[in-house]
Amino acid sequence: MIFMNHTKSFKGGVHPQEQKELTENLSFEVMPNPKQLIIPLTQHLGKPAKPVVKKGSEVKTGEIIAEQDGFISAPVHSPVSGKVSKITVGSTVTGFPKDAIVIESNDVNDIVLMPSLDPGKVSPEEIRERVKLAGIVGQGGAAFPTYVKLSPPADKKIEIVIINGCECEPYLTRDYRYMVERTNDLIIGLRLIMKAVGVNKGAIGIENNKPEAINKLKEAVKNYPDISIEVLETKYPQGAEKMLIKAVTGKEVPPGKLPFDVGAVIQNIGTAIAIYDAVVKGEPQLTAALTVSGLGINQPKNLIVRVGTPLADLLDYCGGVKESAVKVVVGGPMMGVAQYDFSAPVMKATSGILVLTENEINDHEETPCLRCGKCVDVCPLNLIPTKLARLSSLEKFEDAEQLGITVCMECGTCTYTCPANLPLVQWIRFGKQRVMALQRERESA
Amino acid sequence: MDLLLIFLSAAIVNNFVLSLFLGICPFLGVSNKTSSAISMGMAVTFVMVLTAIVSWILYFIVLVPFKLEFLQIPSFILVIASLVQFVEMVIKKVSQPLYRALGIFLPLITTNCAILGLALLLSMREYSLLQSIIFGLGAGAGFTMALFIMAGIREELELTDVPKPFRGVPITLITAGLLALAFMGFAGMI
Amino acid sequence: MEEILIEEGIVVCRENGIAEVEVFPAQSCEECSAKIFCKPDKDDRNVLRVNNSIGANVGDNVRIEIKGKSVLAASFNLYGIPLIILLIGIFLGTSIFSEYKLVELYSAFFGIGLTAIYYLFFLSHNKNRQNQILPKIVFIKRNS
Amino acid sequence: MKANKTLGYEYIKGFWETNPVLKQVLGMCPTLAVTVSVMNGLAMALATTFVLVFSSLLISSIRKLIPNQVRIAAFIVVIATFVTIADLVMKAQFPDLSKALGPFVPLIVVNCIILGRAEAFASKNSPFRSFLDALGNGTGFLIVLVVMGGIRELIGSRTLLGYQILPNGFEPWLIMILPAGAFLTLGLLMGLANFYVDKKKRSEREELIQKYRKSQNDVEVKGQEA
Amino acid sequence: MELTIIIAIATMGGLGFIFASGLAFADKKLRVEENPLIGKVNDVLPNANCGGCGSAGCYDFAVKVVDGKALPTGCPVGGEETAITIAEILGVETGTAIKMVPKILCRGGNSEAVKKMTEYYGPISCKAMALVSGGDKLCFYGCLGGGDCVEACPFGAMIMNENELPEVIEEICTGCGICVKACPRNIIEMHPADRNVFVFCKNQDDPKRSKEVCSVACIGCGICARKSDGGIEMVNNLGIINYDKLDDSKIPFEKCSTGAIQKIGGRNIPVN
Amino acid sequence: METTTVNPTYKLELTSSPHVHSRWSTKQAMWFVVIALIPALISAVIFFGQYQLLIILTSVVFCIGTEYLIKKIRKRKVTVTDGSAVITGLLLGLILPPNFSLSSTAIGAVFAIAVGKEIFGGLGYNIFNPALVGRAFLQAAFPVAITTWTKPNFAVDTVTSATPLAAYKFDKVFTSIQPMFFGNIGGSLGETSALAILIGGIFLIAVGVVNYRVPLAMILGMILFAGIFWVIDPVKYPNPLFQIFAGGFLFGTFFMATDWVTSPITSKGMWIFGLGIALLVVVIRIFGGLPEGVMYAILIMNSVVPIINRYTYPKIFGEAK
Amino acid sequence: MKKVIHMIATLTIIGIVAGGLLSEVNNWAYPLIVANQKAETEKAIFLVQPNGKSYEAVKSPEIEIYKVFDENKNLVGYSLVSAGNGFQGKVKIMTGLNKDLSEIEMIEILEQVETPGLGTKITEEPFKDQFKGLQTLPQINWVKGKAPEHPNEIQTITGATISSKSVVAIINSGLQKARELKDKGAL
């Protein structure tokens, strides 16, 4: 209250070391196709896709190999041409094995594309249909099928589409590169989304540590008065949906509610680009753009790789891992998943691979909670992380539920700040799962 | 001023729980819910004030004039028991739902030594009726405060790593000891 | 933060929207040294009246919740207000009966009388509001 | 199950196994309040035992005459009567002691030990058994009160029963005879008692584990032979 | 002095009268009839309120037993003695109390299960480990070795052995089943103490992966099922025993290459 | 350039997110507090002589020893290196009167750690500030010894050995601010020199170990509450500045009330906590029998911290206002 | 209905028996208790008036004061009981005074609930002895931390200043009332 900040933002949050300089100025590189690709059937939130190919089937690039199954689901396309060698359980970057189709690439370049559409004339239905067929999932991390987000319930009045250009996770520069390299495609993508959900107000939220991107975008939107560029304070988790909406529109999404409920649709930079690709170029989501970074990798890069490329190939391409590496993480350092099996493949929503060294992790001895209140100060959702974690670990789920454990988005700011180095997020995640199970049980009863 | 002193003395300086050790049983058994602590406290305060009135009347209007002081203990306890029973019945008659929700505190109060202690103390100190009422009010307030603070602390204690032999009553006693130590700061205010 | 008290019990009877639930003695009751007075005899079971909006049947194992605020409001109605009335009555009484010899006695009766009137008044009114602050059944366990 | 307990057990159990203060957590008020010295503790415990024994005896012998509904009320009256007797006797014969114990003699009425034993034991058992049970519980109470009083008197005023035990060089800890000291001493004492019980339980479990390990090894050896 | 005695007697008698009248009045209004048997049964129960019987606490169980909704043998903690006493109180025949004991259906301890190439750091507790890519072991079905069940056991009847697998000391075990609930991987099951054939694995992966992740996994070869005459069924690459139909003489234990299905002990575990 | 194969031969770490941490650690914070206490320590030696070092040393050694012993008995990890026992020892030493007996210091230290801290489960679980528990214990056990003050080394004739508060309370003598600021007055070892305490306190706030809210609330509260009395009767009641500089108020403000463990975790709670302490200090100093009330005020407020926390939980993001 | 009568009868009978029993016990105990109390008062009166042999209570609604005589029935002084608040609660003091109330013979603390070991030092000899022969005019004063300089001053106990001060204040207020009484000629 005392130190009012003039840059738009939210209360709480932290400012971890950015480390973006490792890859900030490297343009995207296209990685050659690997020999073998493992394509999980669950690359999105929701029901797994249903395979439509068998062992031994020949497939072409862009061909559907597994179709959408249910409302919240997404089809999967073959990212390369080749032959299905098997359908089996394989490790994934989420940490849990899933069914996957394994394709041996044959290095033939025959791609099956959908017809290109004119972004100026396309109808909202067509956009949604195209997004659905292209199997586009949100690039923000949760991998929610994008077409669902483009179909808001009829009773919710949507006012604004916000493109999330914050990229608040340290290390990652994928969105930044997109903004700098494909500025105009991004704007068209945004306009397509605005059309699909039927609003005439768009915004792109960017943290103020990306001046070049801000300049380029401001230049590009000169002719679009309905799109504004919102410059936000550099702070983690500025890019979280709720925080972004708060910063841009000043509205707070109530617990248990969605951005729809305050009239906003949020899309990631990567998603907007993917929509552009699907509509304008007719290309389904076959590749993932990602940042390979960290002090533990020999050649940090911004890469465009085929979905299904095993981590091992990718790390090899970037010159291998240094001796000093202690952790390999897929996603950002704050919310990513530590890897134990490098045969796990890149998925549609993978945004980065980090190889971290001891120095970056800053791990220190775990001590009991000292109730210093730092976690309470930084929690962007105004929760009491230390209490929630303690209650969860003692399995007092009712109390935890009372204190709003289900609101937590696991952004990790509390654990990052905690001087006692407690695994707060891990416990809260456990408690959250159990509380949600309890709630489901209650509803069914 | 005299009344204020009686109130402060009973509530803080010579707190019933922390320095006179009256009402230890409910204090040790108190739940960790602050709202039930306050409810219980309110019930006790109400009964305390009623007890103060009734036992004052009994003692100074009946027992003393008839030289029956030696019947103090049995008659006090019977009167208190009847009183609580009566309140229980009235509340039940008046408000069945509330009785069901909160009536359980009442039988507990019957045999609470704080209530009988209050009656005995006020007869020993020869308070006037007004003083007795204020004394009861102060004792009730002090009891409620101790219960409230303890309920809060216990909630916190549930989440701590207290050595196993000390869990439950022993740690409550030790906390009460430290609380009593802290309340010594008020000594000398009367 | 809103405090909520949770109890578990078994439904013993129900009637339009209200149920009576017998509450199991909680674990913490075991530690309580006052437990022998809590249930003076085993016949007197601990039965609560609760709001049964989710339609639990007799014999169901249920969890009931009551808001801390409701408990406070209820006990304030039940003990707090009478206490205040009692005190006011006595102080008023001392001035009203100041000419009599047994001022204190009369004023005490006056205060108690006022309190009794409050209780009776309470009886005829706000029955509905009372039902609102009842605990309510939130969850039926169907494990057994 | 209850029938086969020996009479000796009814007496002895109150010392430790079901010690009223340490295990049943009853009668805390006097335990905390009067134990500033051994003498006070002793007097209080004796008075309590007197009331406990006589009321148990009486209640047990008239238990069949009392209707269930007025049981508690009748107990209270009986107990109150004996307490008054104890109080009057004390005031008449030991005025100093009576003064030192203050209102805590009358408060024996609401001492949960007495009502607790009456309710849990005397109302269900024969007079002789109830007598032994009451005496045992009284003794258990006495033990705790004397120990408490001993600790507090020794450290708080370096005396025992009024005789100086600790040398002058030892500065007495006044806190021990203050309320805070009472809480702390009893808390630590109960913790210690629990610790001892825990330790015993643990060693019993260790033994069982050892036995289990051994039997496990036997099976393995047999399995290899076969 | 005479007068005092009379007044004293009158006062006390009067007070007793008033109080008793009040009680009688309250009693008439308050009365809730309850079967006195419930109290008696409740007295016999161990009053540990562990919930092992499936009821919420001992009193609840007593109510159920008296109502005939539960069997006298239903209290696992009290054992046979309690069952007999309850039966006596109720005047019914007791069935034989069959002691249930938990069985840990995983043998993939530290030396058998294949470990991940990474090492887990964080709270040593199964429920927490299960969240982070499923702990240290590659197997996603096996014991995590965090000892949650050992912690949970209120009777101290479980220990972690050198191989970091929990073991049940059946002499101490009361069969309350709390360990079953504590296990996030559901590898603990309650079985009658006299059962001696178990499939010590819960792995439902395809045979190849099962083989890769653990040397003692059930790899779903189905040999035991084919020979068992319906005693064993293969479900999701895992042998499930149907104890009603099981004839252990037909099971070719030696054919199980990983030893996942085993006949144990031959020890007689006394029912306490 | 160091290179290895894709899968390193050694084990990588597998942990839950987040994978990076801030530089803050408990240990670091604790040692910062120790550093912040050095000025007060120096002023103690300057004003009361080298013997005081022995008191503080005894206190620290016994604190560490007790913690070590209890952790060993409980078969827990020995955590004496985290510095918390050292802080308790230092704080306890600094709030004792000069030339206090070493054996009593040791008893206080043992009590502070054993009953004030370890019995609740050790660091992070204690309800009351351990150093203050130790001091309150000593005050109750040896009331005479602990209120026996000695003159500071540079005592001017007019300065008696009595503390400014005792002088005010019993003799109605006001000490002037200047000696109180530098510490040339009677009082506990570390509490006399406002200057030394301010240096340490401001250091702690600057490095971020201590949140500014509690100290600010306490000082503002003191100005407010003491001010009310002062305005009512400037002759009878001391002015707020005197109240702030006298006794252990500043020391309590910066080193005791700001203890992480025993202060509220919510920001609203911290304000309430600070104001509450200030109010209690004023009440005890003016109406109570003791001249000094900071210790008791903080202990009492410690006991209501769980309640303060519970009722000041912030509104969850997005919840209706 | 039968049950109700049974209930009421049981409790009434128990009440009657209890009442009877207690009055019997009381009949035995009451004289002893009264004698004890009287003996105690007497002991205190003569303790503060060592030369007294007999006494007589002065009837006054305001204060409790006794005239004390020697063996020749000559007035040797007064024994004054005064009470007031100490550090923690009520303190009751018996003060022995000379005939014109100008000098204290001795004091005795009858009741107190001061801090054990600290405030309770007011009951110990070193403190009480200070009052022997103390001048009471114009009133008693106290000094702290130094030896008394005037005949009407006593030194407070270290660490128990408030208790010591209370004793002085209580005696002073009692004296005040006694003087008023004397002025009225009632003594």
Q: Are residues A135 and A202 located together in one domain of the fold? A: yes
Domain of residue A415 covers 374-444
ipTM score here?
0.86
User: Is residue D70 scored above 80 in pLDDT?
Assistant: no
Q: Among A191-195, D134-138, E243-247, F115-119, which stretch is predicted with the lowest mean pLDDT?
A: E243-247
C6 to chain A: nearest residue by CA?
A398
pLDDT at F312 over 50: yes
Q: Name the domain count of chain A.
A: 2
Report the pLDDT averaged over residues F243-259: 91
E69 and E185 fall within a common domain: no
A336 and A192: one domain?
yes
Same-domain pairing of A201 and A300: yes
The reply to whether residue C1 touches residue A445, judged by beta carbons under 8 angstroms, is no
Residue F93 has a pLDDT of: 94
**In this structure, are A290 and A438 located in the same domain?**
no
CB count in 10 Å sphere of residue E53: 24
Question: Among A440-444, F222-226, G92-96, G167-171, which range has the highest average pLDDT?
Answer: F222-226
In a domain? residue E28: no
Kindly state the helix (H) or strand (E) to which residue F12 belongs, with its residue range: strand F12-14
Beta-carbon separation of F289 and G162 below 8 A: yes
pLDDT per position as a tens digit, A383-437: 999 999 999 988 888 889 888 899 999 999 999 999 988 999 999 999 999 999 8
Range in A151-155, A410-414, B98-102, F148-152 the model is least confident about:
B98-102
Task: Spell out which residues of chain G touch residue F170, defining contact as CB-CB under 8 Å.
Answer: 144, 161
Which chain B residue has its CA at the smallest distance from D28's CA? B24
Query: Closest Cα of chain F to A176: distance in Å?
Result: 21
Q: Which of G2, G8, G14 to mutate to test the interface with D (most CBs of D within 10 A)?
A: G14
Evaluate whether residue A103 is within a structural domain.
no
Is the domain of E173 the same as that of E47? no
Domain count, chain E: 2
* Structural domains in chain C (count): 2
From B67, B81, B89, residue closest to E19, measured CB to CB = B81
Q: Give yes or no for residue C132 having a pLDDT over 70.
A: no
pLDDT score recorded for residue F85 = 92
Chain A residues in contact with B161 (beta carbon < 8 A): 368
Alpha-helical regions (H) of A56-105? none
Neighbours of chain F (3+ CB pairs under 8 A): A, B, C, D, E, G
Share of chain E above pLDDT 70, in %: 79
Residues A389 and A345 in one domain: no
Q: Please name the residue of chain C whose CA is at the shortest distance from the CA of residue F314.
A: C1
Least Cα separation, residue C87 to chain B (angstroms): 8
Please give the backbone phi and psi of residue A325, each rounded to the nearest 5 degrees, phi first.
-65, 140
- Cα separations (Å) of D217 from D76, D165, E150, E168? 61, 57, 21, 15
Write the DSSP string, chain B: -HHHHHHHIIIIIT-TTTTT-TTHHHHHH--S-HHHHHHHHHHHHHHHHHHHHHHHHIIIIIITTTT-GGGHHHHHHHHHHHHHHHHHHHHHHH-HHHHHHHTTHHHHHHT-HHHHHHHHHHHHTT--HHHHHHHHHHHHHHHHHHHHHHHHHHHHHTTS---GGGTTHHHHHHHHHHHHHHHGGGTT--
Residues of G in contact with D91 (CB under 8 A): 29, 32-33, 36
Q: A106-133: per-residue pLDDT in tens? A: 888 888 888 898 888 899 999 999 999 9
Residue D42 lies in a domain: yes
Phi, psi of G109 (to 5 degrees): -90, 120
More confident position, C46 or A165 = A165
Q: pLDDT of A59-103, one tens digit each?
A: 999 999 999 888 888 999 999 999 999 888 888 888 788 889 999
E248 and E122 fall within a common domain: yes
Mutate one of D88, D171, D173 to test the G interface: name it (highest G CB count within 10 A).
D88
G159 and F CB contact within 8 Å:
yes
The helix/strand/coil state of A401 is helix
Q: Which domain holds residue C92?
A: 71-130
- Rounded to 10 deg, the angle between the B113-124 and B72-94 helix axes is 130
**E155-211 per-position pLDDT tens digit:** 888 888 888 889 888 878 887 788 888 898 889 998 888 788 888 888 888 787 888
Q: Which residues does residue G143 pair with via DSSP β-bridges, in sequence order?
A: G155
The pLDDT value given to residue F222: 95
Query: Which amino acid appears at position F129 of this protein?
Result: N
**Could you tell me the residue range of the domain that residue F46 belongs to?**
26-312
Q: Which of A221, A239, A125 is nearest to A172 (CA)?
A: A239
Residue F1 in domain: no
| Residue E84 in this model has a pLDDT that exceeds 80 | no
Across the interface, whether the CB atoms of A341 and E205 are under 8 A apart is answered no
pLDDT at A306: 93
Which residues from chain G sit within 8 angstroms of residue E31, using beta carbons? Answer: none
* Phi, psi angles (nearest 5°) of residue B49: -65, -45
CA distances from D126 to D49, D129, F25 (A): 18, 5, 66
Residue E268 lies in a domain: no
Average pLDDT (F79-99) is 90
Inter-chain touch A368–B159, beta carbons under 8 Å: no
Which of G87, G161, G166, G168 to mutate against chain F (most F CBs within 10 Å)? Answer: G161
Any domain includes A62 = no
Could you read off the pLDDT of B144-187 as tens digits, one per residue? 999 999 989 988 888 888 888 898 889 999 999 999 999 988 88
CB-based contact F177:F245 (threshold 8 Å): yes
CATH number at residue C44: 2.40.50.140
Interface check for D178 against chain F (CB to CB < 8 A): the answer is yes
Q: Which two tokens stand for residue F299?
A: 């202990």
Least confident of A182-191, D41-50, F148-157: F148-157
The parent domain of residue E77 ranges over: 36-90
- G–A contact (≥3 CB pairs within 8 Å)? no
F51 — contact with chain A (CB < 8 Å)?
no
Judge: E128–A427 Cβ closer than 8 Å, yes or no.
yes
E48 lies in some domain: yes
Compute the half-sphere exposure of residue F56: CA atoms within 13 Å on the CB side of its CA. 25
- Domain of residue D175, residue span: 2-195
Say if F49 falls within a structural domain. Answer: yes
pLDDT digits (tens, 9 = 90+) for G149-178: 888 888 888 777 778 888 888 999 888 888
Average pLDDT of the segment spanning A327-333: 90
Q: How many CB pairs under 8 A join A and E?
A: 47
C41 has a chain D CB within 8 A of its CB = yes
Going by C-alpha positions, the residue among A399, E49, E56 that lies closest to residue C60 is: E56
Residues A320 and A436 in one domain: no
In chain D, the number of structural domains is: 1
Q: In this model, does residue C42 exceed pLDDT 60?
A: no
Per-residue pLDDT, A3: 43
Contact (CB<8Å) F141/D176: yes
Tens-digit pLDDT profile for residues A419-431: 988 999 999 999 9
Q: Mark yes or no for CB contact E140/A97 under 8 Å.
A: yes
Chain F partners of B155 at a C-beta cutoff of 8 Å?
306, 310
B161/A394 Cβ within 8 A:
no
Closest CA to F116 of B174, D176, A368: B174
Supply the CATH number for residue E147's domain.
Answer: 3.30.70.20
Does residue A395 belong to the interface with chain C, where contact is any CB pair within 8 Å? no
Is residue D175 included in any domain, yes or no? yes
> Would an 8 Å CB–CB cutoff place F76 in contact with chain C?
no
Closest CA of chain C from A404, distance in Å: 10
Residue F236: its pLDDT value, please? Answer: 83
**C-alpha closest to that of A373 among F211, B158, F215:** F211
Quick check: B82 contacting C, CB < 8 Å? no
**In the predicted structure, residue F4 carries a pLDDT above the cut 80:** no
Name the residue among A134, A15, A98 with its Cα closest to residue A416. A15
In angstroms, rounded to a whole number, what is the distance separating the alpha carbons of residues B100 and B134? 30
Cα–Cα distance for residue pair A349/F244, rounded to 1 Å? 59
- Across A1-10, A113-122, E11-20, G177-186, the highest mean pLDDT is recorded for A113-122
- Cβ contact E23–D209 (<8 Å): no
Is residue E66 located within the same domain as residue E175?
Answer: no
Evaluate whether A235 touches A246 at the Cβ level (below 8 Å): no
How does residue F161 score in pLDDT terms, banded at 50, 70 and 90? low
Average pLDDT of the residues in E101-115: 84
Name residues of chain B where pLDDT drops below 70. Answer: 1, 30-31, 92-111, 190
Contact B13 G88 (CB under 8 A): yes
- Whole-angstrom distance, CA of residue A436 vs CA of residue A424: 18
Q: Are residues A218 and A294 in the same domain?
A: yes
Q: What is the pLDDT of residues D76-134, one digit of tens each?
A: 888 889 999 999 998 888 888 888 887 788 888 877 788 878 877 888 788 988 999 99
Structurally, chain F folds into a number of domains equal to 1
Beta strand A160-165 with A202-207 is parallel
* Residues C41 and C88 placed together within one structural domain of the fold: no
D204, pLDDT greater than 90: no
pLDDT score of C144 more than 50: no
